[in-house]
Structure 1
Amino acid sequence: MNIFLKIKNALKNSNKSYIELKHHRKKSDDIYSLAILQSLLVGYPYLPLNGGALRPVCIAYILNEIIINQRQHILEFGSGISTIIMARLLKKNGLNARIVTVEHNEAWANNLKTYLKNEDLLQFVEVVRVDLKEITTSMGAVHWYDYKALSMAIKEMTFDLIIIDGPPANTSKLKHSRLPALERFAPNFKADFCLVLDDVHRKGEQDLVAFYKGKNKNVSYEIISETLGVFRTTNKFNPIPIHY
């Protein structure tokens, strides 16, 4: 066999092994995180943890952030299973905190309210249901939450934990749909804040990360388990649930 072909095949196999290793590492992160989430899953109504939900390691990171760094004012773009688990944490641990979660899908927003009501969790969560509308950004027009309606809903509230997992941004056409959360809501972030952006393995979210880092030199950034990007203004206590 030609020596160059051997090298090419060796590199190909090496790259394949590396990708498989990263995939298995993510799996192990989620398996471990599911174990530490059991106190908020066992004994409660079943939650459909599917591919659309935040990964268990991401949820565990956020819960640790709330506890360890005492986050009290939480803004979430894209309601989900994470909303319910966060609310369970606030109730179970007797925390003085509140969640504002923004959702465009009316059917899911109603389902979420039912889940929260059945577990007596609505005292911890305000569900803001707004439609998606075209909005102009520095990266072009995107479909994002109705800015006027959302601004009216949150008014002058400020937040120390911001979670960006919506709206949908999983196609090339939608890839920058989450940008307005970074461009327009900076005045609503407290001086000491943590901002988490899901799906940073995707090209669209990587563009958003580059944009935000370029505009905010004083904000640190790290990636958790390859898919969760975390910005923060101060480094207090590390909430990472697993570290190799």
Structure 2
Amino acid sequence: MSILSKLKYFIKNSNKKNLELNNHSKKSDDVYSMAILQPLLEDLPYLPFNGGALRPVCITYILNEIIINQRKMILEFGSGLSTLLMARLIKRNNINAKIYSVEHNQSWAAIIEDYLKKENLLEFVTIIRADLKEIGTSSFGNLNWYDLNAISSVINNEKFDLIIVDGPPANTEKIKFSRFPAFESLSNNFANDFCLLLDDANREGEKEIIKFYRNKNKEIYFSVVSNTLAVFRTSTGFNPIPIHY
């Protein structure tokens, strides 16, 4: 085997081993976080953990952020497991906080709303049904994003100190920048001190969004949690990360 072939073989196997280590690390983070989440899961209706949901480590980070850094106004794009667990946390811990959750899938929104109703959690959550419509952006062209009028008519001039971007779908080449408008279209509704979270930070589209936003906002602190959750915050505050190596 030539030196060049050996080098290519070494690089290929090194990359494979690094990927395996990253996957093992993520699984360990999620297993640990599931144990932390148990008080919000035991003796309560089963919640659907599926591939589209935020990872347990990301949900735990969010719940810690709400408590540790005293987040009061939460704006979420993409309703689901995180919505329900945040609401359970707010109720159980008697926290003065409110969640506005934006969802484009009418059937899924109805399911989440039904869960919230059965657990008497609707006073903590407002589900905003907003269809996907074409919206122009400054840097990524026209994208399909939530109907801005539907969102604005509900949130009005509210200021949010925790923004969670886990929607709309952005998992193919054609729609990979679909989550960018959350950073631009509603920036006037961000509080002076805010934490903005972007899920799936390991994907190419999200990486481009992160790069663009960081270049425009160099004063904002940036970090990544367990390879997949991008965190932007205006102040360092207390670190809510559930596990740190």
Query: Above 0.5 in TM-score?
Result: yes
Tell me which residue corresponds to 2:41: 41
Q: Tell me the SS of whatever aligns to 1:20.
A: helix
Q: Distance in 2 between matches of 1:121 and 1:18?
A: 42
Q: Distance in 2 between matches of 1:70 and 1:235?
A: 13
Q: Distance in 2 between matches of 1:237 and 1:56?
A: 20
Give 1:3 deviation, angstroms.
Answer: 3.3
Matches within 5 A, 1:15-34: 15-34=15-34
Structure 1: which 5+ runs fail to align?
A: none
For structure 1, which segment, 67-76 or 10-19, has the greater mean C-alpha deviation from structure 2 after superposition? 10-19
Matched, 1:143 2:152: no
Tell me which residue corresponds to 1:211: 212
Q: Distance in 2 between matches of 1:17 and 1:74?
A: 39
CA contact (8 A) 2:129 2:150 kept: no
CA contact (8 A) 2:128 2:150 kept: no
Give 1:164 deviation, angstroms.
Answer: 0.3
Superimposed CA distance per residue, residues 37-94 of structure 1 (whole angstroms, 9 cap, x where no aligned partner): 0010111111110100000000000000000000010000110110000000000101
Give 1:2 deviation, angstroms.
Answer: 2.7
Partner amino acid, structure 2, of 1:3: I
Partner amino acid, structure 2, of 1:109: A
Q: How many residues align?
A: 244
Superimposed CA distance per residue, residues 89-141 of structure 1 (whole angstroms, 9 cap, x where no aligned partner): 00010100010000011111111110000001001000111111011112111
CA contact (8 A) 2:40 2:88 kept: yes
Give 1:184 deviation, angstroms.
Answer: 1.2
Q: Distance in 2 between matches of 1:214 and 1:78?
A: 26
Cα-Cα RMSD = 0.9
Matched, 1:8 2:5: no
Give 1:26 deviation, angstroms.
Answer: 0.5
Tell me which residue corresponds to 2:74: 74
Q: Distance in 2 between matches of 1:229 and 1:14?
A: 25
Tell me which residue corresponds to 1:158: 159
Q: Distance in 2 between matches of 1:85 and 1:69?
A: 17
Q: Which aligned segments of 4 or more residues in structure 1 are displaced greater than 2 angstroms? A: 1-8
Matches within 5 A, 1:52-131: 52-131=52-131
TM-score by length of 2: 0.97
Q: Distance in 1 between matches of 2:236 and 2:75?
A: 20
Superimposed CA distance per residue, residues 152-195 of structure 1 (whole angstroms, 9 cap, x where no aligned partner): 11110110000000011111111111111101111100000000
Q: Distance in 2 between matches of 1:3 and 1:188?
A: 57
